[in-house]
Structure formats: structure tokens, C-alpha cells
A and B are shown apart, each in its own frame.
Chain A
Amino acid sequence: MKPVCACHAKPGAISRRTALKGAGAMLGAAAFAKALAPLANWAREELTVEEFVQKHYRELDAEGLKQVLARHERSALEDYGAEVTIGDHRPREGVVFGYALNLGVCIGCRKCVEACHRENNHDRPGRGSYIRVLEMEKGSMDLEKGNARYEGLVPREGRFYLPVQCHQCEHPPCVDVCPVEATWREDDGIVVVDYDWCIGCRYCEAACPYHARKFNWRKPAIPKDEINPDQSYLGNRIRPAGVIEKCHFCLHRTREGRLPACLEACPTGARVFGNLLDPSSAVRKVIDHRRVYVLKEELGLKPNFFYFFD
């Protein structure tokens, strides 16, 4: 083998060159340590050991769950200064939720959007909401003609309004694609996200044809007195940065038998909510006795969200 470099021939040069390399390596290491400083900073402020080793929500036992809920209540107090109660709302047997929306009376006032924004502790500057209302041209159901950014007095001549939120599909593609089972469809048909398990790859966001999933691009900012303290683990608790969130049919309300916030905010009664398994429920009456329309039905996802015209 020939000498790898010239220095091997001159013993005196070895130390000089080695010293130079050593100094270079030290300098390089220091530079990289400096570059990584924000990472250490973030880990110190946002990460705890308990959170790092926390199990998947479904595998927590009762005691473990209690500790997790208490920890999140504490961090809401520390990070936002708000006293909140985080519950674990579970589905009831014999209930599958459905939603129907009367496009004939929706006036596009966005009261539902605003109610969702407040109820679900969305980021205030980003004015987040799980509902997006499209102003559509009469005579067409083509989303291409929709406009989500309309302003001013509504309803406008020649337009109708199409609010879109999570359709809680029976075959949710977003659930299929999640690589870590951080999202799943519960027994009452609500598709939920474990915000403590999501890795933030956003594959589900790409898979959803209804633009129902949103990503927390930053840590949500909410003034203390605007925080809704009535919270749920899988529902409206304040989400951490870097995870996906979505409409959960206000499960902290609906699993207690109450109506979702968007429905209560609707001034026209365009929104109909209820138990699909109960033939006397309002939503079943709509489906059984009226002509309903399912958005993008051709995709075969079987949403539990229906549109109708009175």
C-alpha cells in the first residue's frame, strides 16, 4: 500500500497536521452544537419524559389516562394561564352520528364557522375553524365555481352556500393512510385524532377529499379568557404544534347528548344532527323522506354527512 498522504513520510509534520485537524474538528463540532441549540431549547420547553414515553390513547389504562388528562390540564394552566377540565368522552352503544345540511336555507353567514372557531379552541390569529363555506353559483354543483373568500352581505343574488367540514366517512381514507394509527373511526362514527400520538406527516391531509384536516403549523395562540374550558382529550383541547386536527362533531358535547356548536349557532336551522340508528331522529327523517346529496359520493367513502334541498 502506498502512503496515503505525504505526512506519513515526515514524522515532524504529523503533529502539526493532526493539531490542525483537531482544531478544525473542535471548531466544526462547536458550530454544529450552536446550530442545534434551538432544538435543545425546544426539547426543554415542549417535551417531557412522560410525554415521550406516553402510550397510544387506546392502550392507556384508567390510571394512566387520568395522569395524562391531569398533565394536559396543568400544561394548559402553565402555557395559557387557563383553568380547564379535560374529560374522556366515550361513545354510547347504539349511536352513530349523522349530519344533514339544508342547502336550501343556508345563507352563508359563517356563524357556524365562528362558533366552531370559539368552541374548539382554534388558533386566534389564523382564525382556524373546521368548517369552510363555499359560495357557489346557482345552477352548478361544481366546486371549481366555489369561492371560500366571499365577504359582505349574504345571501347574494344567484348564489347558494355550501359549508364543508369533516364528513366522518364510514371508509375514511385518512385513517387508512395513517402510518402510526394516530387516527381512527370510533364506534359512533366519529373519526378522531390522538394529538399525542400523531407524528405530523400530513399523509391524511393529502388523502382527505373534503379538505377537512388541518395541520398545526405553529403552536396555537389563544388569549386566556377566550379559552373554552370544557374540553376533551380526543376533541377540543388545545392542540400541540406539529399535529393534525379535524372536526370531531363536537364530541365533548354530542357524546353528552348535546347539539354540536355549529348547529346551535345556525340561525336558519339548516343544520340537522342526530343518531342515524334511531329511525325517529331528525337526521334519519331527512335521509328517509327527502332527497339527499352526498358530496363526492363517487369516491365511495360513505360519508355520514348529507346535503339536501328543501
Chain B
Amino acid sequence: MNEAAASPNPEAPRGVRSHARGYLGFLRMAAGRVTRGSPGFWIWTVGLLVVVWFGVDAWAKQVEQGMGVTGMTDHVSWGLYIANFTFLVGLAAGGVMMVIPAYLYRDKDLHETVILGELLAIAAIVMCLLFVVVDLGRPDRALHLVPWIGEFHFPSSLMSWDVIALNGYLLLNAHVCGYLLYKRYRGETPGRGWYLPLVVVGIAWAISIHTVTAFIYCGLGGRPFWNTALMAPRFLTSAFVAGPAFIILILQIARRFGGLTHGEGSIRTLTGILRVTIWINLVMLGSEVFTALYTGGSHAATTHYLYFGHDGKEALVPWMWTSLGAMLLGALILFLPRVDRRRGWLDLACVLVFGGVWIEKGMGLIVPGFVPSALHEWVEYVPTPAEWKITWGIWAGGLLLYTLMLKVALPVMTGQLRQKP
């Protein structure tokens, strides 16, 4: 390693330039590390790459032939892409449920595992940005979104707020993760001034990314299904369901394959959080459904369509009942005391609530905002194979990024990977 020669004693005071060199060396080491691994690692990454390939292939064709290859129409003008975008903003924000106890309340165990949540935020935001790009009719004009180069419509357009929120959150997390891992790698104690203020900003920022994303939808008066003040709170609670559920699963995988020694306490804390947030989420959902169905009238048309269909149009009905069933079952399982002892039950509950929220926020929230359309026409939306390919391609790409980041981060955090003195 080059930087080792530059500074034989890591405790010695160092200039900014040598730190910059050192950080580059750290990144080089990381790049080298992710191109080596066990057969299992290769099967997993090459498998993901194949899925990514199908996504890239489908997206290139979508750009060439036009967005007509998707199942979207002028009636349902946002579909699977924006649905996944919305869900993934939540997943990115959900990691904050680890950050708060880890840094504000000095939870020892979470302090060792919180990097998983922060890296998840990075991967999720990258996926979000990709989902926005593939949804654009003119990706070649994406530069028009860049302040000063294009015409950035800030602060009027909530989309411009989201551009700032998402990219800012990406930078915050990239800095905090990079800094902490670099310091660990060098065997140095991180200087609190270098990351703690950003962590605190990051907590507020995590709330803001999902609030702003909710405001994109709930600020539209012409879409009664979205035009509810409960949208942002619902987004946050569902984020605090999906995030912890995903991380509980990842923690177990990291303990099994990544040599992570901590995590028991983290899983307990996150399970406790999940127990509460899933019920808040269900209560909010119930409240929305009651308000719509009891009042009736044209504003309830969408809710009725979601759960019971409309005149034989029932594309979303199975999705919605699956989602509701999964979330309820998961919530009930989480109540059982045995989930603390038997990981199988916990894992089942996590998968159920994660899948339930994915449906609820995707197909169950973005798509029905357009059904019926603004002139009350009933046009359903069913994603085409091209959309599924692109969607799974982006998910695979995100998982690949997350895997590679964890492959460097886990040994650094457990102390297996240290710069040679």
C-alpha cells in the first residue's frame, strides 16, 4: 500500500494533502477488494450483473422506441418506475432508524452496525435516481435539471426540492460512510467534528427526503386520492417499516457471511421499532380507507377500486389484499414473544412487512392516483415486460452496489481489514 510508506506512523499529524492521498489509496484498496472473492460471491455478483444487463438492454430499447413500450398511458402517466422510486426513497430514509439510536443515544451495538444502514441509504438513493432517469421521456435533457446550467424551477416545483434532497442525502451519507471507514481502516479514532454534525443534519435530511417526496403527490389538488395531509406521515412510517425490516435481514446475512460479530442488540432494537411502526402504518392506512369509504362520493372512487374493483376492472385488487394480508400477518407475528428467540419467525415477519409496504406504496399509491383519471375515466395500468426488466435491472444494480460496499465495509468494521503499519 502506497500511503503506508508516506506515513509510517498513523498517529503522527498529517496534512490535508497526505490525507487526500491516503483516501485515494483507501478507495484503490476498496476497488481491488471488490474484484476478488469466493465462488459464492462471484455467482451472486455475476447473477446480479446478468439481471442488470437485461435492464440496460430494455432501457436502451425504450429510449430508441419511445416510452410507448411501457404500460403507461396519458391516463396513468406514472407507473412502476415512480412507484419503485417512491418506495426506495423510503428505504433510504428508513436507515435513519439506526442512526438515531446509534449516535444520539449511544447504542453500543448499533454504533457498530449503523454503517449498514448508511450504506443502504447510498444504494437506495442511487436506485432512486436511476428510476427517475428511466422514467424521463428525454434522458438526454437531464442536464436541464442542473441549477445554473439548466432552468432549475426552485422553489416552485417540488421535484426540484427532491433533486436537492436526494442528491444532498447521497453526498451526506457518502461522506459519513467514507470518512468512518477510512478512519477505521487506518486504525485511527474518527474526529467527531468531521462527521457528527453531518450525522445530525443527516437525520433531519432523512425525514426531509421522504416528506418532500410525499409533497410531490399530496400537493396536487386534481388528484383527490393523493391530496391528503396524511401522505407525508404515512410515507415516513412506512419508511420506518421497510428500512428496519430490510436491515434486520441484512444484519443476519452479514453475521452469517460477512463475519459481523455485533448485531444481536441491533436486531432487538430494530425489531422493537418495527413492532410499533408497522401498527402505526396500519392505523393510518385504516384511517384513510375509513375516511374514503364511509364518506363515499367520487373522491372515494379510487379507494373502492383498489379493494373491490370497479365494473370488472380489478387489476390492483389482488395486489392490495396481498399487501394488507402480508402487513397484518407480519404485524401479528411481530407481536409474538417468540420472534426474539426464533429468527425464522422474525425473518418471515420482515419479508411480509417489506413486501406489503412495497406494494402499498408502489402499485397501491402511485398508480391508483391516476385511476380514475382526472376526467373520471377508468383506464387500468399493467406494467409491460420492458418495465419489469428495467425495474429488476435497477434493483439488481442497487443490490450489487450494496454488496460491493459491504464487502469492503464489513471487514473494516470488524477489524479484519486494516492498513498495514
> Which A residues are within 8 Å of any B CB, using their own CB?
1-2, 4-5, 21, 24, 28, 31-32, 35-39, 41-43, 47, 52, 56, 132, 134, 142-144, 146, 148, 164, 173, 176-182, 197-203, 205-211, 213-219, 240-244, 296, 299-301
Contacts and interface: CB of A to CB of B under 8 A. Distances in A.
A18 B342 CA distance: 43
Contacts of B46: 24
A35 to B, nearest CB: 4
B85 to A, nearest CB: 11
Which of A132, A176, A201 lies at the interface centre, i.e. has the most chain B CB atoms within 10 A of its CB? A201
A52 B369 CA distance: 34
Contact of B417 (A1, A181, A215, A296): A1
B140 A215 contact: no
Contacts of B159: 177, 179, 201, 203
A161 to B, nearest CB: 13
Contact of B374 (A31, A208, A219): A208
B11 interface: no
A17 to B, nearest CB: 9
Contacts of B60: 35-39, 42
Contacts of A47: 140
Contacts of B220: 173, 177, 206-207
Contact of A206 (B63, B66, B77): B77
B35 to A, nearest CB: 7
A180 B298 contact: no
Interface stretch (B17-25, B114-122, B147-155, B198-206): B147-155
Contact of A200 (B74, B136, B369, B373): B136
B129 interface: no
A206 B38 contact: no
A148 B375 contact: yes
B64 A180 contact: no
B221 interface: yes
A264 B41 CA distance: 69
Nearest to B301: A144
Contact of B140 (A4, A43, A244): A43
Given A28-B49, A179-B145, A201-B136, A146 B67 contact: no
A61 to B, nearest CB: 17
A218 B137 contact: no
Contacts of B191: none
Interface of B: 33, 35-38, 46, 49, 53, 56-57, 59-61, 63-68, 72-75, 77-78, 132, 135-142, 144-145, 150-153, 156-160, 163, 216-217, 219-223, 298, 301, 369-370, 372-377, 416-418, 420
A219 B68 CA distance: 9
A52 B150 CA distance: 12
A180 B144 contact: yes
A299 B227 CA distance: 11
Contacts of A176: 156-157
A217 B66 contact: yes
Nearest to A181: B151
Contacts, number: 180
A209 B64 contact: no
Contact of B137 (A31, A146, A241, A300): A241
A218 B49 contact: no
A56 B141 CA distance: 12
Contacts of A179: 145, 152-153, 157, 159-160, 163
B158 A242 contact: no
Given A200-B137, A203-B159, A173 B221 contact: yes
Given A42-B60, A240-B138, 16 more contacts: A39-B64, A56-B151, A142-B298, A173-B222, A177-B220, A179-B163, A180-B151, A180-B152, A201-B135, A202-B137, A206-B77, A207-B222, A213-B74, A216-B137, A242-B136, A244-B137
Contacts of B153: 178-181
A216 B420 contact: no
Given A143-B375, A173-B221, A176-B156, A32 B136 contact: no
B179 to A, nearest CB: 21
Which of B59, B138, B151 lies at the interface centre, i.e. has the most chain A CB atoms within 10 A of its CB? B138
B66 A242 contact: yes
7 contacts: A178-B153, A181-B151, A200-B137, A202-B78, A206-B77, A217-B73, A241-B66
B53 A180 contact: no
Contacts of B137: 198-202, 215-216, 241-244
Given A176-B157, A201-B135, A217-B66, A132 B56 contact: no
B67 A217 contact: yes
A253 B64 CA distance: 34
Which of B46, B64, B298 lies at the interface centre, i.e. has the most chain A CB atoms within 10 A of its CB? B64
A35 B157 contact: no
B66 A144 contact: no
Contacts of B219: 177
A2 B416 contact: yes
Contact of B370 (A2, A38, A181, A206): A206
Contact of B157 (A144, A164, A203, A206): A203
Contacts of A32: 53, 56
B74 A214 contact: yes
A233 B59 CA distance: 30
A183 to B, nearest CB: 10
A144 B376 contact: yes
A56 B33 CA distance: 46
B63 A217 contact: no
Contacts of B418: 1
Contacts of A28: 49
Nearest to A41: B64
A4 B407 CA distance: 11
Nearest to A183: B153
A208 B221 CA distance: 9
A209 to B, nearest CB: 3
Contact of A143 (B38, B135, B298): B298
A144 B305 CA distance: 13
A211 B371 CA distance: 12
Contact of A177 (B73, B158, B298, B370): B158
Contacts of B56: 32, 35-36
